[in-house]
Amino acid sequence: MSPPVRLLVSVRDAAEARVALRAGADLIDAKDPERGALGALPAAKVQEIVAAIDGRAITSAVAGDGTGTNLASAVAAMAVAGPRWIKIAVGSASDAALTEAAAAAPGRLIGVVFAEDSFDGADLPARLAAAGFSGAMIDTRGKSGTGLRDILPAAKLSAFVAACRGSGLMSGLAGSLRLADIPALAALGPDYLGFRGGLCRGGDRRQDLEEARIAEAVAALRMPRRADAA
């Protein structure tokens, strides 16, 4: 039996955090859906979300999309809000910048790359691990309905997950995912699948999360699966 794949649900405030928690989400991720793929919420709002969860689920928060800011500064500013994990886009950052960012929140940093960009899915996890990151995730920059599986083939996603595992990193797959994507992506064995829009009213990430959809995603991930599933 393969290890369980867990559900990450991105929330924009404490009220949504409570909905996600009640529905069984494993990881509550603080993110501003009005500000693109990796829009950071104010640290004070992240603190409210962390307080609302009160240790009953794992928490994470987006520190930024990596553009126009110093990675380490953005990470340090979000670390004080108290989430267990901090996510930041790593883009084309140098090894020195990655190491500095990881040092700003030791043992708490998750590097995010965008599916639309060119990156070496087999090499990047090793670089992040060497810099001191704890995990790596693929997301999509665009949020217009084109999902992760529309951009990257299963073979590349599988190689990324395997490279994370080989480097001792947690792995996550996200990007305009739908409930129907769960069986194929869970079969690749990531630690987390990340959702927002697919669990919102009308499939619109700017709308409210729907508790029933979150519960459906949780149930789908709890279904037995074979390690060698296609």
Among this protein's residues, is 156 annotated catalytic? no
Given 31, 45, 143, 156, the catalytic residue: 31
Among this protein's residues, is 143 annotated catalytic? no
CA gap 213, 162 in Å, rounded: 29
Q: Report pLDDT for 1.
A: 59
75: number of Cβ within 10 Å: 23
Q: Where are the domains positioned within the chain?
A: 6-222
Q: What mean pLDDT is reported for the chain?
A: 93
Both tokens assigned to 195 = 């959702």
DSSP assignment string, 96-134? HHHHHHHHTSTT-EEEEEETTS---TTTHHHHHHHHT-S
Q: What CATH number labels 6-222?
A: 3.20.20.70
Instruction: For residue range 104-138, list pLDDT tens digits in order.
Output: 999 999 999 999 998 877 889 999 999 999 999 99
Coil, helix or strand at residue 1: coil
**pTM of whole model > 0.85?**
yes
Q: Report pLDDT for 128.
A: 97
Q: Report pLDDT for 59.
A: 98
Given 45, 87, 143, 156, the catalytic residue: 87
Q: Is the pLDDT of residue 103 over 50?
A: yes
Instruction: For residue range 2-47, list pLDDT tens digits in order.
Output: 779 999 999 999 999 999 999 999 999 999 999 988 999 999 999 9
| Cβ pair 149, 181 in contact under 8 A | yes
CA gap 20, 9 in Å, rounded: 7
